[in-house]
């Protein structure tokens, strides 16, 4: 018996019993009869009204979820969050299959992001694309004046992306219409990040440029809030946490800047220029440089807590797990390092350099390589679980969400695996 019928039967019994009892005593207690009848009628209406919409709403939501799989999940920016930790929720298969492909007009260095059922990715063909997450079909495209290596950032219905034409663009996320653009003095390959203003009434966008400045602009107007200058290029993205902006520069330093006013808090000299983006968790930042050093930096003391040294270079940005750090390197390997002291745990050997930034999802790591393969590696052991030969170098970072993996490659194709 379904809920509606059961509710109706119970109410019917209650009404009949209440009426019979009340009628017997009606000559003595007439007010009681009126009270009982009114109470039971009210109770019947209330139970029916509350029960039926809940059941119907549940059925409608289930139907909607089945008709639009994966449309409600997000990976809105490079590395998945403002701290750039590269951690994804959900689970992925041990042997994903190709779901769809989309061909752009040139090679892809940009990392994909996902929001509200759309995949956003840049291409060296000077375009930013918005694709349906369900089938990879193009929804819209935006033409810049030069290549788009920067990864987009989606927040509050707007897409922000930099270009080597020196502009940061703000576009309507649904239709790709230009809202504003901000010109810097040189190319932008770093991915923009976002934060709330000190009063929490605005959203600010942070990004670095090859003109040696870190910029903070208003997300709605594109007007400059503040800017911070260093002595060399800013190639990587900026991590944000605890009212601090942390980024590496080609001046070899990790810079710590106040997000409130753009003033210097501190810096750490790593000894070689930095092309990668940092990841931060609490008071610690993790980043590698071009001299084979990978550092854990205490943002309070502004000193390196530990340093892992190797004979390679780091272009890849790290994924920060609970007890381990995973990062790609240019000696053709993916490294797993202990988070507390920087001691090596395992090394996974690819067939070419790993500039792609890995993503940790559950007990697995997803990463691309210049050997043309996309890999899934065991987080615990560093052993290969699965690989797919795209056949063209992969330098971007994958977007991993729900059961999907999305990545672009030098062949100009965006791949979705599920």
Q: What percent of the chain has pLDDT over 70?
A: 83
Average pLDDT over every residue of 18-27: 42
Q: pLDDT band for position 61 (50/70/90)?
A: very low
- Same domain for 241 and 94, yes or no, is yes
Please give the mean pLDDT across all residues of the chain. 87
In a domain, 354, yes or no: yes
Inside any domain, residue 315: yes
Q: pLDDT at residue 16 above 60?
A: no
Q: Is 94 exposed, middle or buried (0-12, 13-18, 19+ CB in 10 A)?
A: exposed
Structure tokens at 209: 């440029």
Residues 59 and 117 both lie in one domain: no
Band (pLDDT 50/70/90 cuts) for residue 94 is very high
| CA max distance for the chain | 101
- Whether 352 and 386 map to the same domain: the answer is yes
Higher pLDDT, 29 or 356: 356
**Same domain flag for 25 and 141:** no
State which of 34, 67, 100 marks the end of a domain: 67
DSSP states of 320-349 as a string? E-SSEEEEE-TTSEEEEEETTT--EEEEEE
pLDDT, residue 138, reads 98
Domain boundary among 67, 97, 117: 67
373-392 confidence digits (pLDDT tens): 999 999 999 999 999 999 99
Which pLDDT score is estimated for 10?
43
* 24 Cβ contact partners less than 8 Å away, ≥ 6 residues apart: none
pLDDT score, position 402: 85
| Mean pLDDT confidence for 22-43 | 45
Confidence of residue 168 (pLDDT cuts 50, 70, 90): very high
CATH value at residue 313: 2.130.10.10
- Smallest CA-to-CA distance from 119 within 409, 400, 330 is with 400
């Amino acid at each position: 018996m379904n809920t509606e019928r059961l509710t109706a039967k119970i109410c019917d019994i209650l009404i009949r019993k209440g009426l019979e009892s009340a009628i017997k005593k009606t000559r003595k207690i007439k007010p009681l009869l009126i009270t009982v009848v009114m109470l039971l009628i009210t109770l019947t209406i209330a139970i029916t009204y509350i029960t039926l919409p809940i059941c119907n709403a549940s059925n409608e939501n289930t139907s909607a979820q089945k008709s639009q799989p994966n449309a409600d999940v997000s990976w809105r920016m490079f590395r998945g969050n403002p701290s750039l930790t590269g951690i994804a929720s959900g689970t992925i298969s041990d042997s994903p299959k190709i779901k769809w492909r989309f061909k752009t007009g040139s090679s892809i260095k940009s990392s994909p992001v996902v929001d509200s059922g759309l995949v956003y990715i840049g291409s060296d063909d000077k375009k930013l694309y918005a694709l349906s997450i369900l089938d990879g079909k193009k929804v819209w495209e935006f033409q810049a004046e030069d290549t788009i290596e920067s990864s987009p950032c989606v927040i509050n219905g707007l897409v922000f992306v930099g270009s080597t034409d020196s502009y940061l663009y703000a576009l309507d996320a649904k239709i790709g219409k230009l809202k504003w653009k901000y010109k810097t003095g040189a190319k932008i390959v770093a991915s923009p990040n976002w934060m709330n203003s000190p009063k929490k009434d605005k959203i600010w966008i942070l990004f670095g440029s090859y003109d040696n400045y870190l910029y903070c602009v208003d997300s709605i107007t594109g007007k400059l809030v503040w800017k911070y200058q260093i002595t060399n290029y800013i190639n990587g993205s900026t991590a944000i946490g605890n009212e601090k902006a942390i980024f590496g520069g080609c001046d070899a330093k990790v810079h710590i800047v106040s997000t409130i006013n753009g003033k210097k808090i501190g810096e750490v000299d790593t000894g070689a220029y930095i092309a990668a983006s940092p990841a931060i968790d609490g008071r610690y930042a993790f980043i590698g440089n071009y001299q084979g050093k990978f550092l854990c930096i205490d943002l309070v003391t502004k000193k390196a807590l530990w340093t892992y040294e190797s004979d390679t270079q780091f272009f890849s940005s790290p994924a920060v797990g609970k007890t381990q750090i995973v990062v790609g390197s240019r000696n053709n390997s993916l490294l797993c390092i202990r988070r507390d002291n920087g001691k090596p745990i395992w090394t996974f050997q690819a067939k070419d350099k790993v500039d792609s930034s890995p993503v940790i999802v559950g007990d697995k790591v997803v990463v691309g390589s210049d050997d043309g393969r996309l890999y899934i590696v065991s987080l615990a052991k560093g052993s290969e679980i699965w690989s797919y030969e795209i056949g063209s170098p992969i330098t971007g970072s994958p977007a991993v969400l729900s059961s999907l993996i999305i990545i672009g490659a030098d062949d100009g194709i965006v791949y979705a695996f599920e």
